[in-house]
Structure 1
């Protein structure tokens, strides 16, 4: 099932994105940012970090950067609301709450908590309605504070030495994600054969190197589209083979076409100039 059209807003004051999707499903993927989601209606099946969750109306969903997940319908396709929070924004939020700019880790991916859900709904509506009141930021801090008390924990220590080859491959792909790179080149940077890299990378990251690279490219493409770069140019600059491949992949993972996503930020700039 493909996602039905969604709506999205970028909140310049909070420095995050808000989404609403009707009857949604998403294939296996990950994000470079934090996600706080909400099931507004319907039911779904979430698989995150190899754990299966039956989603019900009122559930909150939490993703850390890099959490591999997919979501499908479970009887009644879910309506989904989401907040996408960049790492830098999260650092500032946790610094405000704790006095330390430390990236948290959510230990649970699905939360059933009426108070947190109420805060989320109120905050999400304020963002979607374009509220400029300071109560919006207050609501965000209250929500995050409660979620961190419910299921926050410090980040884990750095990867052990056994994962160093995979980390070299990951770092190389992040640095060169806009280029046409080959599996042989990535394996060479990691110091492994191609088959050994595939096994090790899938074991450590839960996806193949190519799937990881595609997710990185989508993240970079989003940044270019936010700056007003045309979709065709964004596809070229992020290493996609052609615009059709880029459009299909972007739409599957973001829920909007590249042009629709770019329009969010075009509208933001237009509104700013009119003030």
Structure 2
């Protein structure tokens, strides 16, 4: 018998600008996507199987899950049953500022899953402080710094120099990143990149992990998320981010982030 479908998401109002906090319990399969932020969370119950930059990984209850900004990943329940987890997303500028005294440059998380009870406890204190009705600023600052310092020491590394994607893929990425709200075609991207449509499609999927269209939808969701945080209505955000209408935004937003644009706006605007 197939397990019943479950999907419950709570977008919390965070006490710290630059940090989002979420609680999820779901059988939802998240497609390959990325975030503009660092993500740190703890699985509360069940198990999750994910594709990551180091291959397939699985996280169970008590495990810490982490992701770097821009890192492609997905998520599905292991065994079909619902899994529950809490997650915080931190803007890279905030992380860099907090770690400026300790880290000699940018930090990259090297493990998507870790069995680290001490980090899980640091996370629990941080999450509780972020979502408290009457947050204690000093306690919150300490919890944030302790959690980030632990991640940097135990699970972080200075990123290795990278030549980046191939020039043809890089040109397509610049176009999609620079104006995600504008319509795009494979012919246009191929012409910009100086290769055939087939070469661009194959090279883009190989280097980025998803197709140009899937990447464009992601960038539009990211843009809509920023617009909602600034107070735009879902309909306004959909139009400004390049979606055909609000229903298209809602489907993409829910599929990628697990929460509707309206609920997200009410939590962060």
Alignment of 1:156 with 2:134, yes or no, is no
Distance 1:89 1:108, change over 3 A: same
Alignment of 1:170 with 2:164, yes or no, is no
1:95 is paired with a residue whose SS is coil
Alignment of 1:80 with 2:85, yes or no, is yes
Gaps of at least 5 residues in structure 1 are 267-275
Q: CA RMSD in A?
A: 1.8
User: How big is each residue's C-alpha offset from its partner over 1:37-67, in whole Å with a ceiling of 9 and x where there is no partner?
Assistant: 1101111212212611221101111101121
Q: Distance in 2 between matches of 1:149 and 1:265?
A: 31
2:198 to 192, 195, 199: 195
- How many residue pairs match? The answer is 263
Gaps of at least 5 residues in structure 2 are none
1:36 to 27, 34, 40: 40
Matched residue, 2:218: 215
Alignment of 1:265 with 2:262, yes or no, is no
Check the 8 A contact 1:10/1:16 in 2, yes or no. no
Check the 8 A contact 1:250/1:258 in 2, yes or no. yes
Distance 1:24 1:10, change over 3 A: farther
- The aligned runs of 1:1-275 (5 Å cut-off) are 4-25=7-28, 26-49=30-53, 51-75=55-79, 76-98=81-103, 100=104, 102-130=105-133, 131-159=135-163, 163-266=166-269
Q: Distance in 2 between matches of 1:73 and 1:112?
A: 18
Matched residue, 1:271: none
Distance 1:12 1:192, change over 3 A: farther
Check the 8 A contact 1:20/1:81 in 2, yes or no. yes
Q: Distance in 2 between matches of 1:265 and 1:55?
A: 28
1:97 is paired with a residue whose SS is coil
Q: Distance in 2 between matches of 1:127 and 1:44?
A: 25
Q: How far is 1:27 from its partner? A: 2.0
1:40 is paired with a residue whose SS is strand
Q: Following TM superposition, where does structure 1 have runs of at least 4 consecutive aligned residues deviating by more than 4 angstroms? A: none
User: How big is each residue's C-alpha offset from its partner over 1:83-118, in whole Å with a ceiling of 9 and x where there is no partner?
Assistant: 1111221221221433x4x33111111011111111
* TM-score, normalisation: structure 2: 0.92
Check the 8 A contact 1:43/1:55 in 2, yes or no. yes
1:81 is paired with a residue whose SS is strand
Q: Distance in 2 between matches of 1:70 and 1:62?
A: 12
Q: Distance in 2 between matches of 1:157 and 1:189?
A: 26
Check the 8 A contact 1:35/1:82 in 2, yes or no. yes
Which structure has more helix as a fraction of its residues?
1
Q: Distance in 2 between matches of 1:129 and 1:140?
A: 14
